[in-house]
Amino acid sequence: MSTARTFILIAGLTALFMAIGYLIGGPTGMIIALAVAAAMNLFAYWNSDKMVLSMYGARQVDAQSAPALYGIVEQLAQRAQLPMPKVYIIDNDQPNAFATGRNPENAAVAATTGLLRNLSHEEVAGVMAHELAHVKNRDTLIQTITATIAGAIGMLANFAFFFGGNRDSNGNGGGNMIVGLLVMILAPMAAMLVQFAISRTREYEADRLGAEISGRPLWLASALENLHNSARAIDNPEAERNPATAHMFIVNPLHAHAVDGLFSTHPSTENRVRKLRELAGVPMPTAKPSFWGRSA
């Protein structure tokens, strides 16, 4: 059901993109808009992983340079029946992680130094299992497509404001200026809401599959609680400069305090932890428990 919902939302984004193209240039504008979207997505398909990893200054590691992290990913990839992804470390104090790549054969997972420093071995395994779940579900490609279309919608919406008046039936363009203004404001907002809805949908599914891959739902539950608290207290300057990449991380790297509101890139941590504890058959406690004293 979540996959069907995702593709319905992507179709909605594409339709919105084409509608703005039509507003600007009629049928020809709609076709041009579709061609531009296709070209942008083709570029993103081949280059998005390199762009994001470079943006965050990620450095590739191996079994010699980062034996603990590499070993965790290697074991989990085998459990998930996935090709071994490339492994990267980002020099950033905020504990966080993300996956990227156009398919499982060309995937990469990245963890920050803050994550490796502040989380236990088991919690790191839970996080990496979550990221491998994104790879297995091909979420990285879906997220790239939605981010690209959403960005293009923002660009076209600005064009609609300045040139949409040319569609006025009297030729003076004045009648459509208000429409152009509304499109400029509302279209990017609608695109952003759809993008966030897709991200939240995929995060829940990656939590579930990640718990299945690791075999220990409570590892990820504990990690999410620690990551949530740390991300709110520690800055991620690169993410703040590039907010369009926020949806890629396991927890929101931005200092936006919304939880399950319309403008949140991620589901609330409490909801995610609750679902993971349900998978483990352990109820939500009134006080933080000792996660490692229980069997998941």
Q: Which two tokens stand for residue 260?
A: 């399950």
* Nearest residue to 111 via CA among 68, 50, 47, 143: 68
**Tally of domains within the chain:** 1
The verdict on residue 291 lying in a domain is no
pLDDT score for 192? 64
The verdict on residue 112 lying in a domain is yes
Catalogue the long-range contacts made by 156-161 (C-beta closer than 8 Å, 24 or more residues apart): 156/17, 156/20, 156/21, 156/24, 156/33, 156/187, 157/20, 157/183, 157/184, 157/185, 157/187, 157/188, 158/184, 159/20, 159/24, 160/20, 160/23, 160/24, 160/184, 160/187
3-state secondary structure 64-75: CCCHHHHHHHHH
The verdict on residue 47 lying in a domain is yes
pLDDT digits over 155-212, tens only? Answer: 777 666 666 544 444 554 454 566 566 666 666 666 666 666 666 778 999 999 999 9
The verdict on residue 81 lying in a domain is yes
| 131 counts as catalytic | yes
The verdict on residue 237 lying in a domain is yes
pLDDT score for 9? 66
The verdict on residue 294 lying in a domain is no
Strands lying side by side in the sheet with 97-100? 59-61, 86-90, 108-112, 97-100
pLDDT score for 223? 97
- DSSP 8-state code for residue 108: E
Catalytic residue, candidates 122, 123, 131, 203: 131
Average pLDDT of the chain is 80
Residue 260 clears pLDDT 50, i.e. is over it: no
The verdict on residue 158 lying in a domain is yes
Question: What pTM was computed for the model?
Answer: 0.77
Residue 81 clears pLDDT 60, i.e. is over it: yes
**CA distances from residue 243 to 13, 52, 95 in whole angstroms, order as listed:** 19, 12, 17
The verdict on residue 293 lying in a domain is no
